[in-house]
Amino acid sequence: MSRYNAREVEAKWQSTWQNRNTFETKTDTSKPKYYVLEMFPYPSGNIHIGHVRNYTMGDVVARFKRARGFNVLHPMGWDAFGLPAENAARDKKVHPAEWTYANIANMRKELKSMGLSLDWSKELATCHPGYYGKQQKLFLDFLDKGLVYRKESWVNWDPVDMTVLANEQVIDGKGWRSGALVEKRKLNQWMFRISDYSEELLEGLQTLDRWPERVRLMQENWIGKSSGARVNFKISDRSDHLEIYTTRPDTLYGASFMAVAADHPLTQELAKSNTAIADFVAECHRMGTSEEAIEKAEKKGVDTGLFADHPFIEGKKLPIYVANFVLMEYGTGAIFGCPGHDQRDFDFATKYKLEISRVVAGPGGEEGPLETEPYIGPGKIINSDFLNDLEVEEAKKAAISKLEELGLGSETINYRLRDWGLSRQRYWGCPIPVVHCDKCGTVPEKAENLPIELPEDVTFDKPGNPLDHHPTWKQTKCPSCGADAVRETDTMDTFVDSSWYFARFCSPRADEAVSREDVDYWLPVDQYIGGIEHAILHLLYSRFFSRAMKVTGAVDFEEPFAGLFTQGMVTHETYKSQSGEWLFPQDVITNDAGEPVHIETGEKVIIGGVEKMSKSKKNVVDPAEIIDKFGADAARWFVLSDSPPDRDMEWTDAGATGAWRFKQRLYKFIHENLENAADLNADEPTEFSGEALALRRETHKTLASVTDSIEKLHFNTAIARIYEFMKTLSEFRSTGEDGAWALREAMEVMVSIVGPMMPHLAEELWELLGHTEILADSPWPTVIDELTVDDTVTIAVQVKGKLRGTIEVPKDEDKAKVEAMALAEENVKRFIGDATIRKVIVVPNRIVNIVI
């Protein structure tokens, strides 16, 4: 027998699937659909092992559902806009488009070598005008419905690169690449009204019962709903009011000061004539936005000299401060300070020697002054006039009613979620299709002028936005009046691209952004698979987009992803040389003494922790090399085995070798034992005896269990059951017609259930078994339920809760008989001795517990 040659066999089946267009899918309302989607990759140049894990999982689901009779959509595309292409352009003098398309070509080739059941006819790239032009149409539709607006807002501005930075690109208050001190600047930014959908996005989470609980929780926290009150404090000796937001109206009697944000209109008004305030505002703007900077920043403020009138206490005046810990973006940008019952207010009051009074009694009824720390917990209200003796929650309600009565405030729901700023001062992104006209203002581009394509002749040697530098691109005519006008040079955040690609996949070449007929059939995505790192932004933005597209009539659903699965990372041991340099795993070998040494120098290697694969630590393995060495099937098998899919898995060579061994073993087994099996389509014998029947039982039990495991995405347990079944098969010895038939049945089931995970090997064996139809087009085998239940069961017998023996009894045996058999068991008798039996618990088919 020839050894299994993965390289040849895998190439053979990949071209068979391709030539037969096996995985091309059409909308067909007569069939049940199933949409499997893995998060599409950024075309960085090569696939990494995390992609292998992600796409293998999706592929198992896709192939499995296909075999189960579903019309499966399983597409692939490229999240192709983004900064790395511009960096490559600057550093390597290669155009972003050229760089990106070359990367796509290479990654496509690598993905194809994995044998994924993808419909490549639906491939799309977000950097292609055929995609981003439709995105511009969506943008115009959103604009028309008021879902997008332009607003001056504060951004992180890198003065060296002359660009806006996202929060995560600001490290310790400095630009991640330039290292320049980041400034807060006010810029005109395009914004999506996602915050209008806060409540809907929050409520929608309730319906997502096939999402991981923790992702829903993260989104819930991110949306950050809180309920409280808006209260108007009259500014003393002025006619206007200061509106604040609070979740603790019950502590109003503990108020000792007011604080407003540096960007609050009141502050800005005062800063014009008060240099102390103006200086402080400038200082706040310089303050870094990193977590660390915020953590360390002291609570500071400046007294404005103004006072506010307390809403409940006649004549009580509260000093108004500008404070660095009050954020303009949250609530109303102003607060009242209650130092007794809020940590920040306490810190602030301590620094500026403001009154700290207690209005909530402590858990033990303490009513004394708060000297070292505020009290945040529940309790009875004190020192608060009409609120006295109420519990915190009751007092909140009472305070709000009183405020409403006085016309000074009302109950309010507040959300942490802010609008999504989508403007980026970058070249390699989707141009925002609007025009700025001196006469008409900001005018949307005409739909027939779309796509507004990116110019090709751009330079990246100057800081700032290359689109803005382009000599002619932005010069245009106003779509409204026809006068000379300027194009918007901002491009869209790349999160926009990934917020609707799942819908475009249904009909990637349609004239409309999405074709209703197709999305109505395919969407929502039945199973979405990707990394937990997208738990908030990408998934929340996509959920918003679905709602927005529903408003424009493009789709008719709210939730884009009915099922979500977040897979774990792939980790690897780390290695360092004696001099402390990181080493690649392939440069580390084991010497004769069993020690890890460097392959070239022979120097002993220091083994470090198991960590997420990263280029900087060099603990990476290259999927292309793995596939070349072990074959795609073995790589797929290994990433699915051992670890539960939602947890991190460690890549080890031993594990990959193990997968390879199983592949060889199965191949060899079918080859060597096929002659003992019945012919394809041989008549089923009327009776099955001992061995043959036992094998059939195992076959159907395995089939049922593996089917269930795949359905639940528990690939590791499915594989464990297949290993057990392999063992059963190798031990099977039987002659006779029934044995031969049972063996064929077992082999067919084995090949079928291995199919979604090792598709090439399975096709090869399927063909060997004599089938003329390929496995990918063959149905999943059917479980015969009668064969999955045994006639007898092994029951554990406990004495006083400790296992003392087991008995074999017929299934569903009469309780009294089971009890008698249990009591007759030798070891059980020994443990009962002459003690009195107080009670016997019999759980049918499970356990007997004898209490003495």
Partner RNA sequence: GCCCCUGUGGCGGAAUUGGUAGACGCGACAGAUUCAAAAUCUGUUGUCCUUAGGGCGUGCCUGUUCGAGUCAGGCCAGGGGCACCA
CA pair distance 468, 426, nearest whole angstrom: 9
Q: Which residue's CB is nearer to RNA, number 91 or number 295? A: 295
Q: Which residue's CB is nearer to RNA, number 74 or number 299? A: 299
Q: Quote the radius of gyration of the chain (alpha carbons, Å).
A: 34
CA pair distance 446, 630, nearest whole angstrom: 55
Q: Which residue's CB is nearer to RNA, number 506 or number 540? A: 540
66 burial class (0-12, 13-18, 19+ CB within 10 angstroms)? buried
Q: Which residue's CB is nearer to RNA, number 628 or number 646? A: 646
Q: Which residue's CB is nearer to RNA, number 241 or number 300? A: 300
CA pair distance 258, 320, nearest whole angstrom: 5
What is the smallest separation between the CB atom of 645 and RNA, expressed in angstroms?
9
Give the list of residues 6+ apart from residue 387 with CB closer than 8 angstroms, or none.
250, 253, 359, 381, 395, 398, 399
Q: Which residue's CB is nearer to RNA, number 425 or number 699? A: 699
CA pair distance 40, 32, nearest whole angstrom: 24
Hey, what's the torsion of the CAs at 580, 581, 586, 591, to 10 degrees?
-30
CA pair distance 798, 796, nearest whole angstrom: 6
What is the smallest separation between the CB atom of 581 and RNA, expressed in angstroms?
24
Q: Angle of helix 632-640 relative to helix 623-630, nearest 10 degrees? A: 110
What is the smallest separation between the CB atom of 399 and RNA, expressed in angstroms?
12
What is the smallest separation between the CB atom of 591 and RNA, expressed in angstroms?
14
The DSSP secondary-structure symbol of 339 reads G
What is the smallest separation between the CB atom of 651 and RNA, expressed in angstroms?
11
Q: Which residue's CB is nearer to RNA, number 442 or number 788? A: 788
What is the smallest separation between the CB atom of 134 and RNA, expressed in angstroms?
30
Tokens 């409520």: give the residue: 203
What is the smallest separation between the CB atom of 486 and RNA, expressed in angstroms?
34
Give the list of residues 6+ apart from residue 273 with CB closer than 8 angstroms, or none.
none
What is the smallest separation between the CB atom of 648 and RNA, expressed in angstroms?
6
Q: Which residue's CB is nearer to RNA, number 124 or number 259? A: 259
Give the list of residues 6+ apart from residue 373 with CB closer than 8 angstroms, or none.
343, 346
Q: Which residue's CB is nearer to RNA, number 425 or number 571? A: 571
What is the smallest separation between the CB atom of 228 and RNA, expressed in angstroms?
5
Q: Which residue's CB is nearer to RNA, number 237 or number 592? A: 592
Q: Which residue's CB is nearer to RNA, number 231 or number 632? A: 231
Buried b (16+ CB within 10 A) or exposed e, 72-85: bbbbbbbbbbbbbb
Vertex 28, ends 27 and 32: CA angle to 5°? Answer: 110
Distances (CA, A) of 63 to 235, 623, 751: 68, 21, 13
CA pair distance 249, 247, nearest whole angstrom: 6
| Phi, psi for residue 684 in degrees, rounded to 5 | -75, 125
The Cβ of residue 86 has, within 10 Å, a number of other Cβ atoms equal to 19
What is the smallest separation between the CB atom of 414 and RNA, expressed in angstroms?
6
Q: Which residue's CB is nearer to RNA, number 165 or number 776? A: 165
What is the smallest separation between the CB atom of 195 and RNA, expressed in angstroms?
11
| Phi, psi for residue 719 in degrees, rounded to 5 | -65, -40
What is the smallest separation between the CB atom of 713 and RNA, expressed in angstroms?
11
Q: Which residue's CB is nearer to RNA, number 258 or number 467? A: 258
What is the smallest separation between the CB atom of 722 and RNA, expressed in angstroms?
8
CA pair distance 574, 617, nearest whole angstrom: 7
Q: How far apart are the first and last CA of the chain?
A: 63
User: How many residues would you count in the chain?
Assistant: 852
CA pair distance 133, 127, nearest whole angstrom: 10
Two tokens at 125?
Answer: 């790239």
